[in-house]
């Protein structure tokens, strides 16, 4: 192994783009538990399952039906 390497002519890997972003999101414990149980049944990591569900919402242009109490 060399002591130093010359990266002056290095080229950025075009396939190494980040396809996902790391974020922090607050979810209810019941929501997390639901997706964890469902992920166990389906054999998919729960974060992947949540991402898939949200991506499906985006594709279908779904909007939440919420009613705020005053």
pLDDT for 15-43, tens place per residue? 777 678 889 999 999 999 999 999 999 99
* The total number of structural domains that make up the chain: 1
Query: With contact defined as beta carbons under 8 Å apart, do 12 and 18 qualify?
Result: no
Mean pLDDT in residue range 48-59 = 96
pLDDT at 1 over 80: yes
Domain that holds residue 44: 30-58
> CA 23, 40, 33: angle at the middle one, nearest 5?
55
- Of 21-25, 52-56, 59-63, 64-68, the poorest mean pLDDT is in 64-68
9: in domain: no
User: Within 13 Å and on the Cβ side, how many CA atoms surround 39?
Assistant: 16
In the predicted model, what is the mean pLDDT of the chain? 91
15: tokens are 């396939």
- For residue 47, is it within any domain? yes
């Amino acid at each position: 192994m060399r002591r130093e390497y010359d990266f002056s002519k290095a080229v950025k890997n075009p396939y190494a783009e980040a396809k996902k972003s790391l974020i922090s999101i607050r979810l209810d414990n019941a929501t997390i538990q639901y997706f964890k149980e469902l992920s166990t049944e389906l054999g998919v990591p729960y974060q992947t399952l949540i991402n898939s569900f949200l991506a499906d919402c985006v594709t279908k242009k779904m909007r939440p039906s919420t009613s705020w109490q005053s």
